[in-house]
Amino acid sequence: MRIEISSLLDLDVYTQKGIFVGRVDDAVLDPDQGTISSLALGRVNRSLFNFDAKRVVIPYDWVTAIGDIILMRHFTRAAEKNEEKDRS
């Protein structure tokens, strides 16, 4: 699938379980392959990460769908714990 990098910028990224991860600030390219290798996210959901980061980089292989938002594989136990707290 061919996409323009600019179409990814400012899209919100969610896990497949519907947990907000962050917003796309930039894309990292692999010049040898001519593909996107990862996405740099800003406005990060800090409850998902064990460190205080303003940006994180996720592998593009984790992306499962792109549309009005980006869906990625669910990836942390911390997210599950926070989701359980929200339900209580």
Strand order in the sheet with 56-59: 56-59, 35-42, 20-30, 12-15, 70-72, 63-66
Domains, the chain, in order of start with CATH, read 5-87 (2.30.30.240)
The distance of Cα 26 from the centroid of its chain, to the nearest Å, equals: 11
DSSP element (H, E) containing 70: strand 70-72
Q: Which candidate, 80, 58, 84, places its Cα nearest to that of 71?
A: 58
Q: pLDDT tens string for the chain (88 positions)? A: 677 888 999 999 999 999 999 999 999 999 998 889 999 999 898 888 766 777 899 999 999 999 999 999 887 555 455 555 554 4
